[in-house]
Amino acid sequence: MQEIIELKLVFKFGGTSLAGPDRIRNACNLVKHYSLLGNRLVVVCSAMGDTTDHLLALLSAAEEGRRDEMEAILTQLESDHLEATRGAVDDGELRRAAEDRVRSMLLDLRHIISGIYFLRESTPKSRDLILSFGERLSTWIFTCSLRSMGVGAEYFEGGDAGIVTDSEFGYATPLLEQCLTLVRERLEPVLSRGSVAVVTGFIGRTPDGAITTLGRGGSDLTATLLGWGLGADEVWLWTDVDGLMTTDPRILKTAKVIPQLSYDEAIEMAVFGAKGLHPRALEASYYGGIRVRIKNTFNPSAPGTLITSSSINTGTLVKAVLLLRDVAMITVKGATAVGRPGSAARILQSLANAGINVVMISQSASESSISLIVARRLADRAVEAIKRSTDAGMVQKIECEKDVAVVAVVGEGMKGTPGVASRVFGAVAKRGINVRMIAQGSSELNISFVVKESDGVEAVKAIHEDYGLGA
């Protein structure tokens, strides 16, 4: 294992790294190892395994009055967490104390859920309260497991650690200034005492004391905020892969781990669904200048992927080629749009009103057509929304193609380098693949294009091989 000594580090363990007693032990052993080397550590825990999904299913079952399903999920949650406590906390006395609190949290959850069952409704506020049980349980079990291994550990709920947020339940935004000050005030003394602070990921608290959640995958954001407040040397996001890859290894076996990315590149990758990354978490660390590393709990000696403020030139222009499936392309054509200010705005507004996210946009300079990419499952709704927004008398043709995929080529080295686009499209053309739509942000970090779905994998291979990204 790397000899990292005397640093201030924040470790965040994702759900898969905490699924079951053995994995919790494994994670605790990593914490113990690095803490014995003289590092000062803060740990952020996600909920165990798929607990958050189970809590969401529990909520729906309660709201819709499906009592048996509700009981089944509650029973499963109880046995998962009690089993984890028994298996991960060795010391008899500590184990009993740990179990007592786990039982009492589970009982609270039962009470709250039965309230929702009888009312047949929940509010965003009560939903967040229910979701918070996942992280509160896992973090408490983790704390007790560390203690029973002889590591001094103190349990913190997000709000107690200084994560104060607005009251947009479900996707709350941390109040940055306050957070940074409070985090330092609350956690620095713990580190000075030589203890490990163990903090619930994903949840915060409004100034008047209500529990909020930071959006799915929000534990990453908790970790980078804590790192920022404490001025940590690095934040390590422990997950179940060796790092971010040059492409999906299921597409191409030669895919490699990318050793280093800039924040901008990593955000591009996160948007395209790279595993183990929350875009807002990176934004927070971008402004705070904190180094973030993605590490594999199942292969801790691998260096992982390091994300820093700027790209270290590794001699390659392109760092990753990604494929986004399950999308649809909508094209709106019509001469009425030409030179008419606001036509693009109207289309986008209609989609925003319908709650539909636009993944990619392209408009030709003639303005006679605009193409958009949206999630495939939302395509029909998107078409409807655009149709409804059309003024009477306007002639517009709306086409929707559902058998498409987006290929995204990411790399900061492409910036200002002539010929990248021609090489990318040349590689694709050599395989006889037709490109349907193209978009490149003026940041030049990313070239995205659309092909027929059946050509997606081949297009990725063509570029990956042409740039020699593979092993």
Residues near ligand ASP, by CB under 6 A: 14-15, 46-47, 52, 134, 201-202, 216-219
| Nearest-approach distance from CB 118 to Mg ion, in angstroms | 29
Distance CA 408, CA 55 (A): 34
CB 211 within 8 A of CB 205: yes
Using CA atoms of 68, 70, 72, 75 in order, give the dihedral in degrees to the nearest 10. Answer: -140
Q: Which of 60, 84, 197 is nearest to 134 (CA)?
A: 84
Nearer to ligand ASP, 34 or 202 (CB): 202
Nearest approach, Cβ of residue 217 and Mg ion (Å) = 7
Q: Is 79 exposed, middle or buried (0-12, 13-18, 19+ CB in 10 A)?
A: exposed
Minimal distance, residue 24 CB to Mg ion, in Å: 14
Partner whose footprint covers residue 300, from Mg ion, ligand ASP, none (CB < 5 to 8 Å by kind): none
Length of the chain: 471
Specify the amino acid at residue 467.
Y
- Least distance (Å) from ligand ASP to the CB of residue 219? 3
Q: Considering beta carbons, is residue 135 or 265 the nearer one to Mg ion?
A: 135
- Residue (237 or 463) nearer to ligand ASP, CB: 237
DSSP strands (E only) in 384-457? 397-410, 437-440, 446-452
**Applying CB under 5 A, what is the total number of residues that bind Mg ion?**
2
Q: How far is the CB of 301 from ligand ASP (least distance, A)?
A: 24
User: In the beta sheet, which residues pair with residue 375?
Assistant: 327
Burial 245-267 (b: 16+ CB within 10 A, else e): bbbbeebbeebbbbebbbbbbbb
**Best CA proximity match to 122, nearest among 109, 112, 132:** 112
Which CB atom, from 25 or from 280, has the smaller least distance to ligand ASP? 280
Instruction: Determine which residue in the list 10, 15, 252, 369 makes contact with Mg ion, applying CB under 5 A.
Output: 15
**CB closest to Mg ion, residue no:** 15
Q: How far apart are CA 65 and CA 306, in angstroms?
A: 47
User: What are all long-range contacts of 353-357, with beta carbons under 8 Å and residues at least 24 apart?
Assistant: 353/385, 354/381, 354/382, 354/384, 354/385, 356/381, 356/382, 356/385
Beta carbons of 243 and 305 less than 8 angstroms apart: yes
Q: Which is nearer to Mg ion, 15 or 304 (CB)?
A: 15
| Contact of residue 216 among ligand ASP, Mg ion, none (CB under 5-8 Å per partner type) | ligand ASP
Q: Name the binder of 49 from ligand ASP, Mg ion, none, CB < 5-8 A by kind.
A: none
With the C-alpha atoms ordered 35, 3, 138, 52, is the resulting torsion angle positive or negative? positive
* CA-based nearest residue to 4, from 25, 31, 43: 31
Q: Which is nearer to ligand ASP, 200 or 369 (CB)?
A: 200
The distance of closest approach from Cβ of residue 433 to ligand ASP in the complex, given in angstroms and rounded to an integer, is 36
Provide, rounded to whole angstroms, the least separation between the CB of residue 88 and ligand ASP. Answer: 18
Residues 402-431 close enough to bind Mg ion by CB under 5 A? none
Shortest gap between Cβ of 237 and Mg ion (angstroms)?
Answer: 12
Any contact of residue 46 with Mg ion (CB under 5 A)? Answer: yes
Beta carbon nearer to ligand ASP, 156 or 467: 156
AA letter at 113: I
Whole-angstrom distance, CA of residue 123 vs CA of residue 62: 13
- Residue 219 touches which of Mg ion, ligand ASP, none (CB < 5 to 8 A by kind)? ligand ASP
Q: Return the residues of window 328-387 that contact Mg ion according to CB under 5 A.
A: none
- Least distance from ligand ASP to the Cβ atom of residue 44, Å: 9
Distance in Å, CB of 217 to ligand ASP, minimum: 5
139 vs 371, which CB is nearer to ligand ASP?
139
Task: Report residue 388 as tokens.
Answer: 């409804």
| Strand bridging mode 211-213 / 203-205 | antiparallel
Nearest residue to ligand ASP, using CB?
219
Sign for the CA dihedral angle at 163, 166, 172, 178 comes to negative
Contact between 365 and 339 under an 8 Å Cβ cutoff? The reply is no
Q: What, of Mg ion, ligand ASP, none, does residue 134 touch, CB below 5 to 8 Å by kind?
A: ligand ASP
In the complex with Mg ion, the residue whose CB is nearer, 11 or 425, is 11
Shortest distance (Å) from residue 139 CB to ligand ASP: 11
Q: Smaller CB distance to Mg ion: residue 292 or 439?
A: 292
Q: Is 49 in the site for Mg ion (CB under 5 A)?
A: no
Is residue 297 part of the contact set for Mg ion (CB under 5 A)? no
Nearer to ligand ASP, 215 or 470 (CB): 215
Question: Using CB under 5 A as the criterion, which residues of the chain lie in contact with Mg ion when the complex forms?
Answer: 15, 46
